[in-house]
Amino acid sequence: MNRTRSTAILLLVVLPLGFAGIWRLQHGIDKQLGALNEEQDQVLLRSGKMMKLMSLEYAPLMADIYWTRVVQYYGSKGERHEQNLDSLWPLLDLTTTLDPNLLPAYRFGSTFLAEARPVGAGSPEHAVELIERGIHENPDYWRLYQDLGNIYYFSMRDNEKAAAAYDAGSKVPGAAPWMKIMAARIAERGDTRQTSRLLWSEIYESTQDATIRDNAKMHLMLLKSDEDKEQLDLLLAEFAKRFARSPKSLQDLVDAGMLRGIPVDPERFAYVIGKDGHAELNPKSPLLKDEPLYRRF
Amino acid sequence: MSAPAIEIESLTKDYPTGFLHLKTKRSLENLSMRVEEGEAFGFLGPNGAGKSTTIKLLMGIIFPTSGNAKILGRPISDVEMHKDIGYLPEQPYFYDYLTAAELLDYFARFYGMNSAERKERVAKMLKKVGLETAGKIQLRKYSKGMLQRVGLAQAILHDPKVVILDEPMSGLDPIGRREVRDIILDLKREGKTVLFSTHILTDAEMLCDKVGVIVGGKLQGVGRPDDIVGMKAHEMEILFDADASDLRSAALVAKATKSGSRYSLRVPEEKVFAALEEVRAGNAKLAAVTPIKPTLEEYFLHLIEKERAQAAAIEVSGK
Amino acid sequence: MSRVAAVAWNTFREAVRDRVLYNLVFFALLLIATAILVGQISIGIETIVLISLGLSAISVIGLLIAIFTGVGLVSKEMEKRTLYALLSKPLRRWEFLAGKFGGLVLTLTVNTAAMAVGLLFALLCVKHSLDGGDATTFIAVYFILLKLAIVVALALLFSCFTSQLLAILFTAGLYVAGLFVSEMRNLDGSRVGPAMKVFFSWISYLLPNFQNFDVMAAAAHGKHLPGILILQNTLYAILYCTIVLSSASVVFSRRNLK
């Protein structure tokens, strides 16, 4: 067979067909391996210290690689609506042992370890452990105190410790002024919706991580809808008092001049009156699905 | 007329050279020649003339830029045809972790010989090239001469019809060279076609039926060794004894060159009798009259000089 | 066929005479040391450590042989001119390549099998009995061998047209890249832009996916592997090697030797 012909056959037949076959096979393999790894998450449960020893000077590189796996792990679990994020802590533990200065890992970890299932791993104690390690290794990064405060405030409902965290953080040079204000606020008034909104807003504004930002946004939207519903309930009670009957729909309130228009939730779906007479989210609103997943007050 | 054993037609080979391989260097230009069956053909030329290039092209080690060639009527791209050819590379090197016997046995497998046949032929070949005692020693311990002999052995192992040898005499001492010459004569006697390249002109003169001279990538001439050198006119050399002090010999001695205790005079063939008369008149004693056959060497050097002059002229003219 | 086998056998013989198989001694010592050390730790993870370490060692040693011997398969013969005599035989260039590939894969098979036997004995010493879950360990060894075959094919390809040093770099580079194929496929589109994401997605299929063959975690924990995965990985390796070897064949058959 002459050489030009064999080159042509290679380029036009062998390579395309071959890689097409590879592509098909790969999907099959991915399925099998995915199923395999679901039973036992794809983490070699070696101790972080042993890993660090084995990586020698490539430890930070290994940390980056494991960090990528954390993001992927969290992302893929989300896609499959998994309840079980058990390997999140070991992965983060490993990552931060390999590179104690990998700040994104601490910040991400503090959020998603603390969040209740299924959004997070539901283990705020691990989140605290992670952040405390982060603070120990990176004492100049005041935002870790912010994260610590948030964990205590939101997930562990310990206002005293939350205030203490914000206070400690406010003393770090370069810390934002509101840290001190927040410390005082919480110490004084405890947890309030407004405080919560301020804390989440701060995260939303300042973070560069898209996942964390989306998470904060979700919290903010739900807080807003809670507030809206509370206000609407007050108006509904007022209506009942005034007109001696329950309103059939929010349009009644508009007609009575109590509302300028039918209010919408942050996802732009109109609120409705539920069966029990209280304001509720529109059945079509995506927030309805998210409501039970996120803990907030 | 039967088909030639080797037939080369307008074979040309360019090599990429220079920075980024943009320029080409022509190492072989339009070579056309034939080697008949049963012929011993000597391929002569200085280093870099294109002899090895031609042989490598024939063996499929490199590929021609244009032109084609056939061996035993089959194109050089036909690998199966290698069953009937034997090849000795220039400065051969073989797997040094094998012994000579193992190497030959390995190569024999490609010719479809069964285990018994291989054993028999390997022993026969080792004997033929004089390596029977060294057969079990690893090749890394072999001298250059011994490697050359292994190379020959693997070239004729399978009793091929055509044998192609690239510089078979190189690196051998005179005894080794004589042995190789004998093997080539054997091959001739067995009716095989032999093509070999060499610088050693006396060997070519002695062994070859035909000789091809290649200089600067171009074939300068093909013919019988005598024919090629016959292109120059013959001269005669007259050797004589004379007494320099003798007045009658003075004129004669002045013309001659001293050669040891004698004098020699070179004259063209047609003037020989006139010269002899001069010798007689000069009171000299005639010792010998010999015709001078120009050797391939002189023809060779003459060609190289011509080639260099041409190349220089081209350079000067700025082409 | 027998011509390919002749080249393969000679390649194997060369590896043996090159004392490549002496690595087995090192491996044996390593296993013994591990088995002794592991006996000191009594948290019930002896098997896990032994299998993890054993498989890692088999993989690393195999890789070193595959890469360092593989890159010399063709280039060494070209540099030393041993190839001249061989090509003058009735041997097609692709048959030569196939034989070289086969010979090194044979060497690796022998080497890996010997190490697997060693691992088996070490396991027996530590566990005192074997169960069904241990079969996974030996499937893991088989997968390592499949992975090594692909690495050999790649090393052979580079050996056909670059120097040994460059071939080592390229082959090792492709190996490392092949370990991160799934990360490539799941790149965060918002961070790198959609064009890059598509580009990397394509590359992730072209690159050899060595993650397919990594079942060390399953083996260490004695989990059962689905039979179909064995078939799929085998086919993957065969198909990928065919692609690479065909390419090598075309490259080599056009190559003018010095």
* Interface contact B19, partner C, CB < 8 A: no
Q: What would the two tokens of residue C64 be?
A: 């070193």
* Interface contact A53, partner C, CB < 8 A: no
Residue B190 has pLDDT above 80, yes or no: yes
Rounded to whole angstroms, the Cα distance separating C126 from C41 reads 12
Architecture of the domain whose range is A48-184: Alpha Horseshoe (1.25)
Which residues of C are less than 8 Å from A43 in CB distance? 217
Mutate to test the interface with C, among B72, B97, B195 (most CBs of C within 10 A): B97
> Cα dist. A208→A106, A127, A220, A223, C151 in Å?
13, 20, 17, 22, 40
Which residues of C are less than 8 Å from A29 in CB distance? 209, 212, 229, 232-233, 236
Tens-digit pLDDT profile for residues B134-172 = 889 999 898 888 888 899 999 999 999 999 999 998 878
* Interface contact C190, partner B, CB < 8 A: no
Tens-digit pLDDT profile for residues A199-255 = 888 889 888 888 888 888 988 898 898 888 888 888 888 888 888 888 888 888 888
Tens-digit pLDDT profile for residues C108-131 = 999 999 989 888 888 887 777 777
Residue C255 has pLDDT above 60, yes or no: yes
Per-domain boundaries in chain A: 48-184, 224-293
In percent, the amount of chain C with pLDDT more than 70 equals 93
Residue C247 has pLDDT above 80, yes or no: yes
Residue A79 has pLDDT above 70, yes or no: no
Does residue C152 sit in helix, strand or coil? helix
User: Which segment of A66-80, B13-27, B195-209 scores lowest on mean pLDDT?
Assistant: A66-80
Residue C42 has pLDDT above 60, yes or no: no
C180 is a domain residue: yes
CB B87 within 8 A of CB B155: yes
CB A83 within 8 A of CB A89: no
Close Cβ partners of A167 (under 8 Å, ≥ 6 residues apart): A179, A180, A183
Residue C80, pLDDT score: 85
Question: A72 and C239 in contact by Cβ < 8 A?
Answer: no
Residue B188 has pLDDT above 70, yes or no: yes
Confidence (pTM): 0.69
- Which of A21-35, A67-81, B50-64, C188-202 holds the top average pLDDT? B50-64
Of C146 and C17, the structure prediction assigns the larger pLDDT to C146
Residue A42, pLDDT score: 44
Q: What would the two tokens of residue A226 be?
A: 């809670």
Which residues of C are less than 8 Å from A46 in CB distance? 52
Question: B97 and C2 in contact by Cβ < 8 A?
Answer: no
B residues 94-133 closer than 8 Å to C (CB): 94-95, 97-98, 106-107, 109-112
Question: C225 and A36 in contact by Cβ < 8 A?
Answer: yes
Write the burial class of residue B57 (CB in 10 Å: 0-12 exposed, 13-18 middle, 19+ buried): buried
CA of C121 vs chain A CAs: smallest distance (Å): 24
User: What is the overall mean pLDDT for chain C?
Assistant: 87
Which residues of B are less than 8 Å from C86 in CB distance? 107
Q: Of the candidates A73, B37, B255, which has an alpha carbon nearest to the alpha carbon of residue C182? A: A73
Residue B51 has pLDDT above 50, yes or no: yes
* Interface contact B240, partner C, CB < 8 A: no
Q: DSSP of C109-171, one letter per residue?
A: HHHHHHHHHHHHHHHHHHHSS--GGGHHHHHHHHHHHHHHHHHHHHHHHHHTTS-HHHHHHHH
Q: Which one of B89, B97, B111 has the shortest CB-CB distance to C85?
A: B89
| Average pLDDT over every residue of B34-57 | 89
Q: Which one of A10, A19, A69 has the shortest CB-CB distance to C205?
A: A19
Rounded to whole angstroms, the Cα distance separating B207 from B225 reads 10
The domain made up of B6-229 is a member of CATH 3.40.50.300 = yes
CA B157 centroid distance within chain: 22
Residue C129, pLDDT score: 74
Number of domains in chain C: 1
Residue A41, pLDDT score: 46
Which structural domain range is residue C86 located in? 2-253
Q: Which amino acid is at C58?
A: I
| Average pLDDT over every residue of C141-155 | 96
| Average pLDDT over every residue of A116-124 | 83
Tens-digit pLDDT profile for residues A4-28 = 887 888 888 889 899 999 999 998 8
Q: Which one of C206, C221, C239 has the shortest CB-CB distance to A40?
A: C221
Q: What is the DSSP letter of A155?
A: I
* Interface contact B74, partner C, CB < 8 A: no
| Average pLDDT over every residue of B42-52 | 85
Q: Which one of B61, B81, B106 has the shortest CB-CB distance to C84?
A: B61
| Average pLDDT over every residue of C80-85 | 89
Rounded to whole angstroms, the Cα distance separating C172 from C153 reads 12
Which chains pack against A, by 3+ Cβ pairs within 8 A?
C
| Average pLDDT over every residue of B285-289 | 87
User: Which segment of B44-53, C28-37, C83-92, C192-201 scores lowest on mean pLDDT?
Assistant: C28-37
Residue B40 has pLDDT above 80, yes or no: yes
C-alpha neighbours within 13 Å on the C-beta side of residue A1: 14
Going across the sheet that includes B218-223, the strands are B85-88, B162-166, B193-198, B40-44, B210-215, B218-223
Residue C41, pLDDT score: 58
Q: Which amino acid is at B56?
A: K
Residue A77 has pLDDT above 50, yes or no: yes
Q: What would the two tokens of residue B101 be?
A: 């016997």
CB A268 within 8 A of CB A126: no
CB C233 within 8 A of CB C145: no
Structure-derived torsion over alpha carbons of residues C79, C83, C84, C87, reported in degrees to the nearest 10 = -150
User: What is the overall mean pLDDT for chain A?
Assistant: 82
* Interface contact A72, partner C, CB < 8 A: yes
Which residues of C are less than 8 Å from A210 in CB distance? 188, 190-191
C residues 64-123 closer than 8 Å to B (CB): 80-82, 84-92
C-alpha neighbours within 13 Å on the C-beta side of residue C105: 25
Residue A104 has pLDDT above 80, yes or no: yes
Tens-digit pLDDT profile for residues B235-283 = 788 888 888 777 777 777 788 888 778 888 888 878 888 888 888 888 8
Residue B113, pLDDT score: 87
Question: B110 and C88 in contact by Cβ < 8 A?
Answer: no
CB A297 within 8 A of CB A221: no
Residue A56, pLDDT score: 61
* Interface contact A36, partner C, CB < 8 A: yes
Residue A145 has pLDDT above 70, yes or no: yes
Rounded to whole angstroms, the Cα distance separating B248 from A266 reads 137
The domain made up of B235-292 is a member of CATH 2.30.30 = no
Sorting pLDDT into bands at 50, 70 and 90, what band is C38? low
In percent, the amount of chain A with pLDDT more than 90 equals 12
CB A85 within 8 A of CB A120: yes
C258 is a domain residue: no
Which chains pack against C, by 3+ Cβ pairs within 8 A?
A, B
Taking the alpha carbons of C223, A43, C58, C150 in that order, is the dihedral positive or negative?
positive
- Which of A257-271, B196-210, C87-101 holds the top average pLDDT? C87-101
ipTM exceeds 0.95: no
Sorting pLDDT into bands at 50, 70 and 90, what band is B7? very high
Per-domain boundaries in chain B: 6-229, 235-292
How many pairs of residues across B and C have Cβ atoms under 8 Å apart? Answer: 70
Sorting pLDDT into bands at 50, 70 and 90, what band is C44? low
Residue B1 has pLDDT above 60, yes or no: no
Sorting pLDDT into bands at 50, 70 and 90, what band is B72? very high
